[in-house]
Structure 1
């Protein structure tokens, strides 16, 4: 990648993002573009790489605060801890999603005429009623 600079519009366009997203990421402390004498943002190659890291972080389920933590810490152990935390959170969401999928699969395969009358489904609902 050559070492040129990009305007906010050029960089946003390159990634198919609205320019205000890059401005927001700057206010969140994720990007620090240089400024021209006229105050225009100029993004460097390092900023292009950060945009890729931010997008990757969002795909992995990180919040912007968590991404900032990863990008701004000087401690590799802290970065690894952030990855472990996200891995644990993702594992929990996957377990919850699999449980939901299993419930839907049962409802779809249920031999009862109406799954709301299914004994298994009713038992599942009963188990979710808090004691009182």
Structure 2
């Protein structure tokens, strides 16, 4: 007989995720449970798919806060479907492209810094971009 609900231990065993992580996901609103009269957690079977979605999303670098925003669009006991994953990836493409652009800028600035070799707090574009600290007067500003 297939039960519709899982204990936290069963969910951990089936998903490969530690019970502490599952409780954290629940505190963050990523998954939901109901409580028995003995105050034990019971998870709908669809939670297995939600946990799989969370882990897959994390594996491609999505932070839990962003994953939570997308999961909030699903009803609490609804499993993510293939169509849902496609919609989520479309939502995330802008974020991923912005991260790529940021990493490319970091790489280019770092390469310039190595070529310069100054590492001067007064001139270095990495330590003091646009010499913004000069406007705050003399002396150490970042210590």
> TM-score category by the smaller chain?
0.5 to 0.7
The two structures have a TM-score, normalised by structure 2, of: 0.59
Aligned ranges for residues 3-42 of structure 1 at < 5 Å?
Answer: 4-42=4-42
In 2: Cα distance, 1:68 partner to 1:3 partner:
27
Specify whether residues 129 and 9 from structure 1 end up closer, same or farther in structure 2 by C-alpha distance, changes over 3 A only: same
Gaps of 5+ in 2: 75-83, 132-143
In 1: Cα distance, 2:3 partner to 2:105 partner:
45
In 2: Cα distance, 1:70 partner to 1:33 partner:
19
**1:34–1:42 Cα contact (<8 Å) kept:** yes
SS of corresponding position for 1:13:
helix
Q: CA deviation at 1:31?
A: 0.7
In 2: Cα distance, 1:90 partner to 1:8 partner:
35
Q: CA deviation at 1:91?
A: 2.2
SS of corresponding position for 2:5:
coil
Q: How many residues align?
A: 111
Structural RMSD (CA): 3.4
The two structures have a TM-score, normalised by structure 1, of: 0.63
Q: Does 1:82 align with 2:91?
A: yes
Select which of 125, 129, 132 maps to 2:124. Answer: 129
**1:61–1:86 Cα contact (<8 Å) kept:** no
The structure whose residues are more often helix, as a share, is 1
Gaps of 5+ in 1: 104-119
Q: Does 1:95 align with 2:104?
A: yes
SS of corresponding position for 1:43:
strand
